[in-house]
Amino acid sequence: MISDLARLIDAVHREKNIPRDVLVEVLEGALEAAARRRFGMTRDLEAHYNEELGEVELFEFRTVVEEIDDEETDILFEQARDLDPECEFGDSLGIKMDVEVLGRIAAQTAKQVIIQKIRDAEREMTFNEFRDRKGELITGIVRRFEKGNIIVDLGRAEAILPKREQVHTETYRQGDRLQAYVLDITRSSKSPQVVLSRTHPGLLMKLFELEVPEIYEGIVRIEACAREPGHRAKIAVSSTDPDVDPVGACVGLKGSRVQAVVQELRGEAIDIIPFHPDPARFIVSAIAPAMVSRVYMDEHLHTMELIVPDDQLSKAIGRRGQNVRLAAQLTGWRIDIFSESRHAEMNQQARDELARLPGVDEELVELLVRHGYRGSQVLSEADPYEVASILGITEDAAEALLVEAEDLAMSIEEEQAEKAEQAEQAEQAEQAEQAEREAALEEESSDDGEQELPPEAAPELGAEEGA
């Protein structure tokens, strides 16, 4: 081994930040692997680093015996006495070996083992350094691009920003600063261990925590967060101090705090709304900027119907459904939005349908519609006890009503199927008639194309034939 091995260990320790004892263990293991490759696996070999000499020494251990049974593991007592005068029968005697006899192939094996072990040690160091930083913000420099993934230099380690965790509206160049959310820490042997994300809602929450001291101190809490990365986000906040406005704290003076977050997210629009423990009020705030006229809530199905003025419907839904989709993610409720005119139309259709049930007058129909039963099919699937309590009738009467509703639903379904069949037949007949008209027009045009020669052209034609 090289004489200045101790200095080399110190250099690698400083450069790679790997503990010296780990490096010594790597060297010892590499020399043992090389020796076993040279001498076989049956010999009892051990490598030890000598701090004073600054080299790794290789020892072969043999058992002191009177008669040799195994030439690779035993040594005669007389030979052992020459090496160590104090040895006794049964002792395990360590004999120092000359590492020069290992040869070039064994040295190459040792080199490969050292390289692999140092990589493993670096990977373990990276894992130990970042395993407690999962869910935090981290800043690095874009180093290179690999198959759509971005490799980020974090200083003493590299991280990966997978393509699926990138915002498609953002572009980066080599050397750009990048701030991201630590999504996961893995022990993968081939890829970087630190997995980053620019799309996770946690990125938005951590950025607000960074910009808003009240959030960091726990006075203002982020209750929920929803994002469509690169386009829009909604965040719900509350305050533990009645004197602190949570929305104002997040917006900041002249919007300075929220603008810092928007700038880091490269223009992603952010709606900050006050959290409310009442789900209905919370959803009304979440659907802003649209105004809501009425809210119908079904706790069993965890759904809500929002009725909005006709001119507010497009605002409530948002561009390509973005606003209502974010509101549903933020609140955790399924949301259906109807305009007032559409809602009135649906209610009228329900009244007309339910009025066909025997024994159900206008007052009972209104009660059913008011409680969300918009048709015989919905009513037939209801609980008899619930219907009985709504209408003020017995459960037996409610069960009979549900049977009637089921029969009516089947009848309406048959009527609709018959109408659909008639409409299809009418369409087919119209298509056949159209085809006949087109065929007749084609025939007419072909007949017009076959014109007879005029009489004055006949003598000229005969003269040409005689010639």
pLDDT confidence band for 199 (50 / 70 / 90): very high
Contact assessment for residue 283 and residue 333, using Cβ atoms and an 8 Å cutoff? yes
Per-residue pLDDT tens over the stretch 320-334: 889 999 999 999 999
Please determine, for residue 338, whether its predicted confidence score (pLDDT) is greater than 80. Answer: yes
Please determine, for residue 3, whether its predicted confidence score (pLDDT) is greater than 50. Answer: no
Superfamily grouping for domain 5-127: NusA, N-terminal domain (3.30.1480.10)
Question: Top-level CATH class of 134-199?
Answer: mainly beta
CA distance 292 to 281: 10
Please determine, for residue 88, whether its predicted confidence score (pLDDT) is greater than 90. Answer: no
Superfamily grouping for domain 215-275: K homology (KH) domain (3.30.300.20)
pLDDT confidence band for 158 (50 / 70 / 90): confident
Domain ranges across the chain: 5-127, 134-199, 215-275
Q: Where are the alpha helices (DSSP H) in 336-394?
A: 340-354, 362-370, 376-380, 384-391
Phi then psi dihedrals of residue 61, to 5 deg: -100, 130
Tokens of 58: 């290789």
Task: Compute the CA torsion angle 314, 315, 320, 323 (nearest 10 deg).
Answer: -150
- C-alpha 459, offset from chain centre: 90
Tokens of 358: 């025997």
Contact assessment for residue 252 and residue 287, using Cβ atoms and an 8 Å cutoff? no
Listing DSSP states for 88-125 in one string gives: -TT-EEEEEE-GGGGHHHHHHHHHHHHHHHHHHHHHHH
Residue 442: its pLDDT value, please?
79
Per-residue pLDDT tens over the stretch 421-450: 888 888 888 888 888 888 888 777 776 655
Q: Where are the alpha helices (DSSP H) in 200-304?
A: 201-211, 213-217, 246-251, 256-264, 279-286
- Candidates 29, 94, 109, 97; CA nearest to 57 is 97
CA distance 169 to 229: 9
Mean pLDDT of 196-208: 93
- Phi-psi region for residue 332, left (φ > 0), alpha (ψ -120 to 50) or beta? left
